[in-house]
Copies of this chain bind each other. A is one copy, B any other.
Amino acid sequence: MAGDFVYSHRVQFYETDLMAIVHHSNYVRMCEEARVAWAHHHGLMDYQKKEAAAHFAVIEVQVKYLKPCFFGDQVEIQVQGKMSGVRIFFQYKLIAVNRGRELVALAKTSHAPLDENLKVMRPLDEMKTVFAKEGQKWTETWL
């Protein structure tokens, strides 16, 4: 997977539930962390500009849970993104590095660029440029 963007997340105590594993809703948040870091890395997420977040408004989420995640786990999240028309897609592999790099979950999200008033807008040119390049890495569908 050379070239894929990788984000690292340490599982926090407050992310666990009474089964003593990470609550399933928190995988959605881990994916967001990784996606935001990806966008920031590629110059598409200026934290100071509130509208930047809207450009990646979530319209669909899917997570497949393969193995539980535990308190203190070091989770590596591989991210790939592509754009098709006015839709943006991301896919994610979540790997517990500290447990033999076990694959713990797969996920994918769909997005539509919105403006500050939650109206659909045309993707910015810089988005098109980044996704045109990054989208080429998306050669297989993980989930």
Do A54 and B19 contact each other (CB < 8 Å), given the known contacts A28-B24, A62-B60? Answer: yes
> CB < 8 Å: which of B14, B53, B57 contacts A29?
B14
Interface residues of A in 22-64 (CB under 8 A from B): 23-26, 28-29, 32-33, 36, 40, 45, 47-48, 50, 53-54, 57-64
Q: Which of B23, B28, B64, B68 contacts A118 (CB 8 A)?
A: B68
Report how far A25 CA is from B47 CA in the complex, Å: 20
How distant is A91 from chain B, measured CB to nearest CB, in Å? 14
> Least Cβ distance of A59 to chain B in Å?
5
What are 15 A-B contacts with C-beta separation under 8 Å? Answer: A12-B29, A13-B32, A13-B53, A14-B29, A18-B21, A19-B53, A19-B57, A20-B50, A21-B118, A25-B29, A40-B72, A47-B70, A47-B72, A59-B64, A61-B61
